[in-house]
Amino acid sequence: MGDPRVVIVGAGMSGLCMAIKLKQAGLHDVTLYEKADALGGTWRDNTYPGLTCDVPSRFYQFSFATNPGWTHLYSPGPEIRDYLERIADRYGIREQIVFGTEVTAARHDDGRWRITTSRGPDEADFLLTATGVLHHPRLPDIPGLDAFEGPTFHSARWDHDVPLKGRRVAVVGTGSTGVQITSDLAGTPSRLLLFQRTAQWILPAPNREYGRLTRAAHRRMPVLDRLGYRWHEAVISHVLSQALIKPGWQRRLIGALCRRNLNKVTDPDLRARLTPPDEPMCKRLIASGGFYDAVQRPDVEVVTDAIDHVEARGVVTADGRLHEIDVLVLATGFDAHAYVRPMDLTTSDGRTLEAAWQDGPRAYQTVALPGFPNFFMLMGPHSPIGNYSLIAIAEAQADYILGWIRRWRAGLVASMAPTADATERFNSDMREALPRTIWTSGCASWYLGKDGLPELWPWTPREHASMLRTPVFDDFETTG
């Protein structure tokens, strides 16, 4: 059948992963469209102070391209971005990327995807989206936000031209981002105000530095990299991933570590205000080594009165107090349910992605959609994105997608899409399993979809990988 033309949308970590796998399989008619002017996805967009991956570096990397040079147990964001840049060059992917070009729509017609980009049309036999999960910043609907006279920016759009030293800075939000910013920034502004709506549990995670000797040893003995990868994979799989999905010693252990960590806060009033109302891990678990030290500094204040509105000089809380500030940082998270959109996808019979997902994003086995032939997603709905390495998940999904593309190349199929029945069976199994997870134990989080259920994988990441290793051909409608 010849080689297919493949279009990948997005040149972040998962788009690169897919492109590398295709290249290694000898498939060269591949284009990655990237709307920004640089690659790296979330590691390009986020540049806030303290940006660190909270998955250990030895596991948060491609299993086929480990990096002996990681400087820390948890790598700083710029180091991960450099790593992705180097990988793109090493595997010759950069030449395949068309930067500054947004895919706005795609329609499946006559067996091909007709693609509309901001630079003109294209066509492909396969359309693959690698558009990420946390891509669209969510701005809070706080009255008067526009009235503030000083600079205001979202954490994922950090304005590095704004000086912070010696000024009064407010951070709204205490998710992973707000915690990392606070831990790093404390001490730079003359006053740092952290506006907390809901306290969150913090797993103690001091960030150990890898010394020159360790790095040299890893360079000389690649087996150490492989061992490091397997070790962190095993710890996360056997402890954290289990704790999320069922009761047991793992859940008790992580809960106890978080509670003990909170005792580092010596002032009983502050400790009470930092005590979350829910179970550890109900919201995405935050890992940090320095947060409780930061919030106990005299120049840091945790404000727990609700924000009433913002005015020209600062933030006014419900008790009527005006907190005067110079800079306002919104670490208020992302719209995690805007998968793939705003791209318009349409099938030959007029089905749209918008309509297919009107009740929330649903997929077949996290990677495919019924009625959408030769279309696959990386990091699609219900991917195991908890606290696991998204790179390991992308690799499993890319291998699965590559399997279908190879079948196409071998002439075994011309088009493939999962059946509606198989997709419904998969989603109904998931709906049954989700209430058993810790994420439904009674908290609001970005994990929860419209139906109140988490849009997450309710089993172990290893089960996700093993599901994708064994495709069920009967679940697909194929032609050719």
Site of interaction with ligand N01 (CB under 6 A): 52-54, 134, 140, 142, 172-178, 180, 195, 197-198, 284, 307, 331-334, 444, 446
CA 118 distance to own-chain centroid: 25
Give the DSSP letter string of 118-159. TTEEEEESEEEE---SS-SB-----TTGGG-SS-EEEGGG--
Angle in degrees, CA 49, 53, 58, rounded to 5: 140
Element (H, E) at 85: helix 77-90
Smallest distance from ligand N01 to CB 269, Å? 20
Smallest distance from ligand N01 to CB 67, Å? 17
| 139-148 residues labelled b (16+ CB within 10 A) or e (exposed) | eeebeebeeb
Quickly tell me which residue has 């600079």 as its tokens.
151
Between 113 and 195, CB nearer to ligand N01 = 195
Between 361 and 370, CB nearer to ligand N01 = 361
Between 140 and 471, CB nearer to ligand N01 = 140
Between 175 and 418, CB nearer to ligand N01 = 175
Angle in degrees, CA 106, 112, 117, rounded to 5: 30
Between 278 and 463, CB nearer to ligand N01 = 278
What letter would DSSP give residue 218? H
Between 217 and 444, CB nearer to ligand N01 = 444
| Nearest-angstrom CA–CA distance, 258 and 262 | 6
What letter would DSSP give residue 195? E
- Comparing every residue's Cβ against ligand N01, the nearest one is 175
Residue type, 42: T
Smallest distance from ligand N01 to CB 477, Å? 35
Determine the longest span between alpha carbons in the chain, in angstroms.
Answer: 71
Smallest distance from ligand N01 to CB 383, Å? 12
Smallest distance from ligand N01 to CB 435, Å? 21
Between 46 and 374, CB nearer to ligand N01 = 46
Smallest distance from ligand N01 to CB 324, Å? 18
Smallest distance from ligand N01 to CB 438, Å? 14
